[in-house]
Amino acid sequence: MSGRHRKPSSSNISVAKIAFTGAVLGGGSIALAGQAAAATDGEWDQVARCESGGNWAINTGNGYHGGVQFSSSTWASHGGGQYAPSAELATKEQQIAVAERVLASQGRGAWPVCGGPLSGPSQRDVPTPAGLDAPGINGAPAPLAPPA
């Protein structure tokens, strides 16, 4: 072997250009496909119907709470505490936001019987409810209500 390489032919360069162009154009399609595959509210409603009869405020005392039946540890470890101390006390939207995090970390297997209809996870931004002692605008103390 002489260690010399032959000069790339124009056909090799053309193949490289086509491959690069395809990757660039196809990459956008792949990103869009990922967005389209996010779990929908309808899919979460299906899971809730299967898990809890569609009751997002359920607590039967079996150790699982809310529409998609969170255990207390799963609720807490996936940020549910920012919304409510337990899933059944949170809104449907808040429960879905936490469920999306569970779906991202555990997959559909987190709901082994009912998770079948779920697509991929997506991040949902749900406002955290303001507490009664929450600060006002720019961190200033909230104004007191005038005496009645």
The Cα-based distances of 143 to 6, 117, 131, 134, 136 in angstroms read 79, 47, 14, 10, 7
Q: Is the pLDDT of residue 37 over 90?
A: no
Percent of the residues in the chain that have a pLDDT greater than 90, as a whole number: 52
Does 2 score more than 90 pLDDT? no
Q: What is the DSSP letter of 64?
A: E
59 in the Ramachandran plot: left (φ > 0), alpha (ψ -120 to 50) or beta?
beta
Domains in the chain and their CATH numbers? 41-110 (1.10.530.10)
Average the pLDDT over 62-81 and give the result: 98
pLDDT digits (tens, 9 = 90+) for 20-33: 444 444 444 333 33
Provide the pLDDT for residue 38.
Answer: 78
Q: Which residues pair with 70 in a beta bridge?
A: 65
> Is the CB of residue 100 less than 8 Å from the CB of residue 122?
yes
